[in-house]
Structure 1
Amino acid sequence: MGSIADNMGVVTRRIQKATMAANRPADSVRLLAVSKRKPPEDLRVAAAAGQIAFGENYLQEALEKMAALADLPTLEWHFIGPIQSNKTRDIAAHFDWVHSVDRLKVARRLSDQRPADLAPLNICLQVNVDNEDTKSGASLADIPALAAEVLTLPHLRLRGLMAIPDPDQPEADLRQSFRALADALAQLRQAHPEAQGLDTLSMGMSGDLETAIAEGATLVRVGTALFGAREA
């Protein structure tokens, strides 16, 4: 595998090619570098190559990286892992985005605990789009009611939806999973025309980003293709 900088170039070209193939604007898909289990030095290399947004799954690991990279204040931190209620205060205080909100209790805690001097916390609702027993996320059926409640919380900004479809399903089924998430976001926009910023579909990873972009992804979460395989 190439260097991190080289890998970023490869992934960026994949995104650009897929975006063009879908007849979408060139800047309509963002890259989120999934950096869990990778040292701060790797993130620093990626940042030097132009990467801004980094996704972390584990709170303590992320906080240590934030401290190590405090001299890079323009980095954007996204929490993408399961959320335990006892971790919401630190998540609310230190992250710019949270992709993995799947219940109202957590959303309320994040809003209540967001420091007053910070901008509202950008939120994606995690959808268990294939109804897998082992996956976190709200069901598609529960999303309208959950979104309506989250939109009332003063220190959150609902940006869209996130999903991790079953990567082992046939291509046609994977495409349908992505399409279902895109349809759910379109329905939210229609139901809440007053909502500002319902613009994010966080879907697609190293192996399926092209399919996700074809179905409307605006943010792809890529780890392995950038940083190589992760340690267990």
Structure 2
Amino acid sequence: MTLEERIREVNTRIEEACLRSGRSREDVNVIAVTKYVSTSMTERVLDSGLTHIGENRWQNAEEKWNALGSRGTWHFIGHLQTNKVKDVAGKFEYIHSLDRLSLAKELEKVASARNLEIKTFVQVNISGEDTKYGLEPEQAVPFLKELHQFPHIKVAGLMTMAPFEGEAEDTRPVFRGLRELRDDINRHAITREPLIDLSMGMSNDFEVAIEEGATWIRLGSILVGKQEGE
């Protein structure tokens, strides 16, 4: 399939998931994850009208951002080391992987020095997998309270990754758990402003994530392919 054909198919599947769950298509944002494709393919993605680009390592994203950073909105979706904050701050509008106080402190330090506001998602390990990064669900509220001391960090919402399952339906409890956690946080007014966004759902399970309330889905190979020419 061509890039254009993949985009059309994904959009159809998003629309159908929204219809099933009584949601508006406009409430679901697509991040095109370009970590496996070249700079020229990333340019094609932007030319196609996809404006949100996701990368998970600065060393892989640097060339693409230097060439195309003025186009679209860039999302850092991988585990962020504190020593890479200086590289990504101000380049990536959203960081989807805030999961520890040391990272928050470094983000605040760099953002304060550069007079930036950094939009973040707090990553929560709903599934409890040892291989996944993120806070345990019971740690989320204390962590969000700690973030009050960092005026340059804006929490946009919560993020999680579900296990890779043979049946996408098996991921539903993970996505539902993140939505329920967000709703509980909002009910108790933990954050400065109510949390709206949920970053959840990838190529294998995005339809279930949408049905459970995802506002940002992160799509790689199903959308952009894995190498030049796909």
Q: If the length of structure 1 is used for normalisation, what is the TM-score? A: 0.91
Higher mean alpha-carbon deviation, 49-58 vs 188-197, is at 188-197
Query: Residue 10 of structure 2 aligns to which amino acid in structure 1?
Result: V
Query: SS at the partner of 2:186?
Result: helix
- Tell whether 2:103 aligns with 1:106: yes
What amino acid does structure 2 have at the position aligned with 1:42? M
3-state SS of the aligned residue for 2:149?
A: coil
Seen in structure 2, the aligned counterparts of structure 1 residues 196 and 33 have a Cα distance that, compared at 3 Å, is: same
Q: 1:20 to 1:60 in 2, by over 3 A?
A: same
Q: 1:44-66 deviations in whole A, cap 9, x for unaligned?
A: 11111111111101112212111
Determine the structure 1 residue equivalent to 2:22.
23
Counterpart position of 1:122: 119
1:134-175: per-residue Cα shift (whole Å, max 9, x none)?
111110010011112224311111011111111227655411
1:47 corresponding residue in structure 2: 46
Q: Decide which of 72, 78, 102 is 1:81's aligned counterpart.
A: 78
Q: CA RMSD in A?
A: 1.9
CA contact (8 A) 1:5 1:45 kept: no
Q: Do 2:10 and 2:223's aligned partners in 1 also have CA atoms closer than 8 Å?
A: yes
User: Is 1:177–2:156 an aligned residue pair?
Assistant: no
Which range moved further: 168-177 or 148-157?
A: 168-177
Higher relative contact order, chain-length normalized (CA < 8 Å, sep 6+):
2
Counterpart contact for 2:201–2:217, Cα < 8 Å: yes
Structure 2: how far apart are the matches of 1:215 and 1:102?
A: 22
Contact kept? 1:114, 1:120, Cα under 8 Å: yes
8 Å CA contact 1:224–1:230 kept in 2: the answer is no
Q: How far apart, CA to CA, are the structure 1 residues paired with 2:9 and 2:145?
A: 39
Which residue matches 1:14?
A: 13
TM-score by length of 2: 0.92
Aligned partner of 1:162: which letter?
A: M
- Whether the 8 Å CA contact 1:93–1:115 is kept in 2: the answer is no
Q: Structure 1, unaligned stretches of length 5 or more?
A: none
| Aligned residue runs from structure 1 range 92-103, under 5 A | 92-103=89-100
Query: Is the 1:202–1:220 contact (alpha carbons within 8 Å) kept by the matching residues of 2?
Result: yes
Residue pair 2:45, 2:224 contacting (<8 A) in 1 also: no
Cα offsets for 1:186-225 (capped at 9, x unmatched): 1121222763362110001111111001111111100011
Conserved 8 A contact 2:14-2:25: no
Amino acid at match of 1:130: S
Q: Distance in 2 between matches of 1:221 and 1:103?
A: 22
Determine what percentage of the aligned residue pairs are the same residue: 34
Gaps of 5+ in 2: none
Aligned length: 228
Residue 4 of structure 1, CA deviation: 1.4
